[in-house]
Amino acid sequence: MKRTREADSLTGRAVTNHQSRAAIHAWLFLLPAMVLLLSFTHLPTVATLVDSFFSTPKGSRPAVWVGIENYRTMAEDPVFWKSVTNNLWFAGATIPLSIGLALAMALWVNERITGRAFLRMAYFTPTVLPMIAVANIWLFFYTPQYGLLEQLTSLVGLPSHNWLGDHRTALACVTLVAVWKEAGFFMIFYLAALQTLNPSLHEAAAIEGASRWYFFKRVQWPLLMPTTIFVLVNAVINGFRMVDHIFVLTRGGPDNASTLLLYHLYEVGFKFWDTAYASAITVVLVAVLTSVALVQFFLLDKRTHYK
Amino acid sequence: MSAITPKVPPPQHLAYNEPGWLDTIAAWVLALLWLLPLAYAVWTAFHPAEYSTRFELLAPLTLDNFRNAWAAAPFARYFLNTTLLVTMILCVQLVLSTLAAYSFARYEFRGKNIAFSLVLVQLMIMPDILLVENYKTMSQLGLVDTLLAIGLPYFASAFAIFLLRQTFMGIPKELDEAARVEGASDMQVLWRVYVPLARPVYTAFALVSVSFHWNNFLWPLIITNSVDARPLTVGLQIFSSTDQGVDWSIITAATLMTSAPLLIAFLLFQRQFVQSFMRAGIK
């Protein structure tokens, strides 16, 4: 880039001409993607914010300005607050569990373990399958009486339990499916990072007689920090975006025990067709995702420059 | 966990590379647990209904469940829709993001940084979230219940632009200049120099994009309402939730059918899949 600028100052006008032509080319190349991005990401984001201050248009009645009315509805909507707490529990459990398991999987598969290729395949398979399809499988797995889980628990002599139908266990069941789906995906990033670590670190630690745990804690874990941050950001985003399985497993029930923010947004917007209130919920979701991105950008990136 | 390491270990036989038996068992238990739901589904789908929850080694195998599932819902149409959808999205994404990435990687122009930041916004605010507004846009365009409507919000992929821009920036400028000295135009340079050198990145992105859109559910659910536009995921959900009379054997058969193309592709090209996801993730 710098070289281009120096060259420009040398040849003067001809270059300026050339440069403006290049700029036109650049914008032409960029145009189609930019137009689509503006129409389906930026404008809708702004429109969502605007619409959240208007009422839902009904029939011939157009939308009118209602100020913070939709947000007041939100504050008084017990299902909204239920979905927020549920989502925090869901994210709070999915994130550490899937990252922890991913790390363990990667450490195992990175070593000369028996059946390494099989293990890697087993861990990663859930990632490539459609969530809607695997949710069906899990639904069967959790089914009262016939499901595999019931069969296993009855073998041990435990009483029958409707795992998805009980408001105490529904959210946990849904969370487990998410962990199962995600851990293998995150494993890949850890595995990639582990493979780039210098093998002489291993040798040095072995010669020094460091224990395996010590080696992990003092060498591998710090060096994996950038990967952990990357995975963490993805896990947080997915924690607020993964709802496909809710449609199959519980539909948010019983009694909203397993509803999540995006699922609630879907119900408000496309089952009750209260689009104005749905816009207000979208604003909340956008705010969550934006703050995740900002935290990553301003805080975390600076602390991970080990290499 | 590991035993005390000898002071001078033989060079290629490091203690850390040999996981203890405890690790091996834990890793295997986890792997089997991970495959358990899938194995259960396979069992149910390939056996007659009366064996769906009874495990007997000699239970007769059957393909009837698949046949019944295929006949019970327009799966052929769903497969066609999903295939068309995934192909359309991938093709448009590749063309648009190649052009945009080329522009960002090799041109200097006013507003470049602002434009690039605008692209990055899509990495955090995905189309999956903006359901309400995008639905309004589609109904204004008269596109509700079409394959085009499912694809449109995903055509411009910030992720692809970002990935290709990084790749293009890593290609030596000398190659570019040499081609220009030979008299190649902008488009020719892009097509003859940049695109061939970025081939692995294209493969990686293609695999990620295809599996994402094959699996995508919420937006297609909202924007479609007929068999003509419904992709497999939505079709499967409607099939398995509306018909109360359908038994588990048929539902699991339908489920496996839906996942089969990706699953088979994954088992055949495991290495490429893993490397693609890896490459796509490390920015």
Per CB-CB distance under 8 Å, the chain B contacts of A279 are: 132-133
Q: Is residue B60 part of a domain?
A: no
Q: Cβ–Cβ of B34/A123 closer than 8 Å?
A: yes
> Which stretch, A21-35, A284-298, B57-71, B237-251, has highest mean pLDDT?
A21-35
Domain of B277, CATH number, reads 1.10.3720.10
What Å distances lie between residue A16 and A23, A228, B176, B184, CA to CA? 10, 46, 20, 21
3-state DSSP assignment of residue B260: helix
Asked whether residue B1 is domain-assigned, the answer is no
Q: Residue B16's pLDDT is what?
A: 54
Residue B18 lies in a domain: no
pLDDT per residue as tens digits for the range A266-275: 999 999 999 9
Of B32, B107, B125, the CB nearest to A289: B125
What ipTM did this prediction achieve?
0.84
Answer yes or no: is pLDDT of B216 > 90. yes
Cβ distance of B137 and A39 shorter than 8 Å: yes
Chain A positions touching B118 (Cβ under 8 A) are 34, 37-38, 42
Tell whether B122 is covered by a domain.
yes
Angle at A107 between CA A103 and CA A112, to 5 degrees: 160
d(C-alpha B41, C-alpha A144), whole Å: 16
A237–B16 C-beta distance less than 8 A: no
Gap between the Cα atoms of A260 and B271, Å rounded: 35
Q: How many CB atoms lie within 10 A of CB A78?
A: 8
Q: Which of B167, B260, B116 is nearest to A129 (CA)?
A: B260
Domain count, chain B: 1
CA-to-CA dists, residue B235 to A48, B116, B186, angstroms: 29, 37, 44
- pLDDT of A300 over the 80 cut: no
The pTM of this model reads 0.86
**Chain B residues touching A248 at Cβ < 8 A:** 237, 240-241
Residues of the domain holding B226: 70-281
Tell me whether residue B38 is in a domain.
no
pLDDT of residue A233: 85
Residues A281 and B132: beta-carbon distance below 8 Å: no
The pLDDT score that the predictor gives to residue B1 is 40
pLDDT tens digits along B257-275: 988 888 888 888 877 777 7
Q: Is residue B254 part of a domain?
A: yes
| Residue spans per domain, chain A | 2-40, 78-304
Q: What is the pLDDT of residue A253?
A: 76
Top residue of B131, B133, B189, B237 to mutate, by most chain A CBs within 10 Å, is: B133
Provide the CB-side half-sphere exposure for A26 (13 A, CA).
Answer: 19
Is the CATH code 1.10.3720.10 the one for domain A78-304?
A: yes
In the predicted structure, residue A251 carries a pLDDT above the cut 60: yes
* Residue B19: inside a domain: no
- Please state, in angstroms and rounded to a whole number, the distance separating the CA atoms of residues A185 and B124: 19
With 60 as the cut, is the pLDDT of residue B6 above it? no
Model pLDDT, residue A199? 80
What pLDDT shows up at residue A306? 42
Does B169 fall in a domain? yes
Residues A145-164 pLDDT 10s: 777 787 787 888 777 778 88
**Residue A165 confidence (pLDDT):** 82
At A60, the pLDDT band (50, 70, 90 cuts) reads confident
Looking at the predicted structure, is the pLDDT value of residue B230 above 70? Answer: yes
At B15-32, the pLDDT tens digits run 555 677 888 899 999 999
